[in-house]
Structure 1
Amino acid sequence: MRRAGRRCGTVRGPLAAWHRAPERGGSLKEATSHASEATLSRLPQVPSAKEMDETVSEFFRRTILKIPLTEMMTILKTWNFLSENQLQTVNFRQRKESLVQDLVLLCEENHASLNDAALLDIIYTQFHRHQKVWDVFQMSKGPGEDTDLFDMEQFKSSFKKILKRALKNVTVSFRDAEENAVWIRIAWGTQYRKPNQYKPAYVVYYSQTPYAFTSSSQLKSNLPLLGQALTIASKHHQIVKMDLRSRYLDSLKAIVFKQYNQTFETHNSTTPLQERSLELDINMDSRIIHENKTEKERVQRVTQEIFGDYPQPRLEFAQYKLETKFKSDLNGGILAEREEPLRCLVKFSSPHLLEALKSLAPAGIADAPLSPLLTCIPNKGMNYFKIRDK
């Protein structure tokens, strides 16, 4: 009896092309081609360089689109990425969409990178810094620690490494500015998501000072990491957030550096008070009695002693949280038995709060001097106050 031969198993996968080739009468070369195509189709798809370029191009398009036409040339020249000859080829009087498209094409010709786009975004933010709300952080050294020599390049490298080690998906860009300051742009991502380039955080750090200014970010969870990077890179021991906030970065800087009596000086700030009082007397209504004139001079003198003889730093508000327990000489009552303190929130708002406060007494709206809670804002470096019972 003839022994039956063993049946071959079915060939599956890419090698099936080799198995089927003789049946179709195809050549070995065709079988190899089919096998290669089948194998490649199973490999994970990697984004092409073109797709990555399209992502950067879209970032450029959005960044350029938000630049006002009146500032376009100034910002592009400050950026200094496109040459003068390239800028001369662009028609800046055409529709903005067409203008943006032409500029994006020039950026692509120059092989612009993501970092180049980030630098352009930093420059735009520097021109429009008042569109963001800025917080102030103060750092300090440990007991007995000496001031070390500061190296800006070392600071940048250390800051970036700390963020990269803690968070894989994050992009950090730097731009040096005036007064030994550096602007830092941080696009946060997560362990599973790429950095969001359209919601970055900004940090302005002045070298060899304990102060850093940060734009308010929606990602509050990243604040501890940001504080750690600032503290270690600047060689400090700890960092705290100050009760000071404003849209006007220059005013915040003037307050914490105690420069508001210099930075905001005007051409007539050195005029003696006596001379200005004399001018006031000349223009004063002759029917005003002597007592009123004396009172006005007193108010003017007290106001100058408190606020100084210079324009004030610009803040938009001051907020006071009051917590106090009810006190009464009479026994009993619902409020007297209340254990929780009474809470109240008072907020003063103005386009230029300190100048508004400065004008209250001279205008006769408030008595002079004003409450120290209102006049201490620049000296204390605070516009958030918590008032409790002693």
Structure 2
Amino acid sequence: MWAVLQRCRSTGKLLKRAFCHAFIQQMYLEHLLYASFKRTSKLSLKIIALSVALGATPDLGYKTFWTIEESHLRAWDRKSKVINSSMLTGNALKEKEAATLHLQLLLCPLFQENCVSLNDAALLDIIYTQFHRHQRVWDVFQMAKEPGEDIDLTDMEQFKSSFKKILQRALKNVTVTFRDAEETAVWIRIAWGTQYRKPNQYKPSYVMYYSQTPYAFISFSRLRSNTPLLCQALTIASKHHQIVKMDLRSRYLDSLKAIVFKQYNQNFETHNSTTPLQEGRLGLDINMDSRIIHENRIEKDRVQRVTQEIFGDYPQPRLEFAQYKLETKFKSDLNGGILAEREEPLRCLVKFSSPHLLEALKSLAPAGIADAPLSPLLTCIPNKGMNYFKIKDK
């Protein structure tokens, strides 16, 4: 059996570690975790998570493996050679059935020997989400205390216990898993169920909370009905009075943290980053009038100075979009008119999107695409901690 896993190369090595009980404990250590994960693919990590989960709930691994794309399945087949070449003929349905059945027969004895629990699978799922956090959309929530109320120093263990009890009292079937992270932060995974159904492990919510701060970063599942309960548990467990959703959202969690904590002068996530726009040449031809050359240089220096004053000389937090909703009544100096008599306001939606929006905005003026300075509505995004704006008449 181990000979088969060894033929999987990098995937086999990680599978072998995950299914050995001693290695499961060590995989929670940061240095081993990232050293291993940097050498593998998204598919390999999914196979680890689903396979460990298979020991506690056999159908969980089956259904997760079922969702792997056919192209990925074929690629994994060719590398691992676990599935016979005869299984690659026929339709995708039979291929996945054969692959899943073979995986179950291969791995179930290992799960039984090592007593892998659902909590182990949930922890590995948190680890996977930490490493691929840019694949989820994160919302920022801000909590507040009563006016004049003193700040309470909440113990992390007390927070975990209180948070879990609140959810379990309100909802019979719910699974809550914690994993401590850097800088007194904790990752929380919540699998939601109902009064009559077990927790849905395929659509969990994830929360990253920094103790002694009023901020929580939440990636919701598709089951949005439990959002009020989650917010209530966060508010009570952290000893705050209320919680509000900020108009700030992104896939890049580190950038969101930098914005709300005012930590701009640092390196940010660069997954699939694009090169910022470069300045255009000023066309300094030898035959050009020296006065024009001088004016161009003065204008270039002014644009650079204004841009640096607004954006600074550090990398910008990474956001993918900024959205502006405009509501205004039509105004005209002319008497009458169809639009002037309209009571309903004029509504307009403008959305700016880019793989790295703030760096793109920062490059507009130096590239000669826009005048400097840019509109405050575009440059105030990091300072205000918003990328959703509503503009109305005063």
Distance in 2, matches of 1:61 and 1:106, equals 16
Match of 1:370 in 2: 374
Asked if 2 retains the 8 angstrom alpha-carbon contact of 1:137 and 1:241, the reply is yes
Residue type of the partner of 1:119?
L
Q: Does 2:312 match 1:311?
A: no
Asked if 2 retains the 8 angstrom alpha-carbon contact of 1:299 and 1:362, the reply is yes
Q: Does 2:331 match 1:297?
A: no
Match of 1:387 in 2: 391
Asked if 2 retains the 8 angstrom alpha-carbon contact of 1:320 and 1:347, the reply is yes
In the superposition, the TM-score normalised over structure 1's length comes to 0.72
Asked if 2 retains the 8 angstrom alpha-carbon contact of 1:300 and 1:362, the reply is yes
Q: Does 2:150 match 1:149?
A: no
2:235 to 221, 231, 236: 231
**Compared with structure 1, are the counterparts of its residues 175 and 284 closer, same or farther at alpha carbon in structure 2 (3 Å cutoff)?**
farther
Asked if 2 retains the 8 angstrom alpha-carbon contact of 1:265 and 1:310, the reply is no
Match of 2:128 in 1: 124
Distance in 2, matches of 1:104 and 1:369, equals 63
2:260 to 256, 261, 268: 256
In the superposition, the TM-score normalised over structure 2's length comes to 0.71
**C-alpha deviations, 1:171-195, integer Å up to 9, x for none?**
1001111111111000001111111
Secondary structure of 2:266 counterpart: helix
Q: Does 2:190 match 1:186?
A: yes
**Compared with structure 1, are the counterparts of its residues 250 and 101 closer, same or farther at alpha carbon in structure 2 (3 Å cutoff)?**
farther
**Compared with structure 1, are the counterparts of its residues 362 and 231 closer, same or farther at alpha carbon in structure 2 (3 Å cutoff)?**
same
1:104 Cα deviation (Å)?
5.4
Distance in 1, matches of 2:231 and 2:244, equals 8
Residue type of the partner of 1:168?
K
Match of 1:167 in 2: 171
- Mind listing any 5+ residue stretches in structure 1 that lack a counterpart? 1-51, 69-91, 267-279
**C-alpha deviations, 1:12-36, integer Å up to 9, x for none?**
xxxxxxxxxxxxxxxxxxxxxxxxx
Q: Does 2:57 match 1:56?
A: yes
Secondary structure of 1:289 counterpart: helix
Asked if 2 retains the 8 angstrom alpha-carbon contact of 1:61 and 1:101, the reply is no
1:320 to 307, 319, 324: 324
Aligned-pair RMSD on alpha carbons?
A: 2.8
1:59 Cα deviation (Å)?
2.9
Match of 1:136 in 2: 140
**Compared with structure 1, are the counterparts of its residues 122 and 312 closer, same or farther at alpha carbon in structure 2 (3 Å cutoff)?**
same
Match of 2:344 in 1: 340
1:60 Cα deviation (Å)?
4.7
**C-alpha deviations, 1:341-372, integer Å up to 9, x for none?**
10000000101100110000001000000000
Asked if 1 retains the 8 angstrom alpha-carbon contact of 2:54 and 2:108, the reply is no
1:311 Cα deviation (Å)?
1.0
**Compared with structure 1, are the counterparts of its residues 260 and 171 closer, same or farther at alpha carbon in structure 2 (3 Å cutoff)?**
same
Distance in 2, matches of 1:166 and 1:386, equals 35
1:63 Cα deviation (Å)?
6.2
Deviating more after overlay: 211-220 vs 240-249: 211-220
1:158 Cα deviation (Å)?
0.3
**Compared with structure 1, are the counterparts of its residues 365 and 103 closer, same or farther at alpha carbon in structure 2 (3 Å cutoff)?**
farther
1:66 Cα deviation (Å)?
8.5
Secondary structure of 1:213 counterpart: strand
1:53 Cα deviation (Å)?
7.4
- Mind listing any 5+ residue stretches in structure 2 that lack a counterpart? 1-52, 70-78, 84-98, 271-279
Distance in 2, matches of 1:164 and 1:354, equals 41
Distance in 2, matches of 1:327 and 1:207, equals 50
Secondary structure of 1:322 counterpart: strand
**Compared with structure 1, are the counterparts of its residues 182 and 295 closer, same or farther at alpha carbon in structure 2 (3 Å cutoff)?**
same
Residue type of the partner of 2:224?
K
Secondary structure of 2:183 counterpart: coil
**Compared with structure 1, are the counterparts of its residues 54 and 100 closer, same or farther at alpha carbon in structure 2 (3 Å cutoff)?**
closer
Q: Does 2:241 match 1:241?
A: no
1:249 Cα deviation (Å)?
0.6
Asked if 2 retains the 8 angstrom alpha-carbon contact of 1:323 and 1:342, the reply is yes
What are the within-5 Å matches in structure 2 for residues 57-136 of structure 1?
A: 57-60=58-61, 93-95=80-82, 102=106, 105-136=109-140
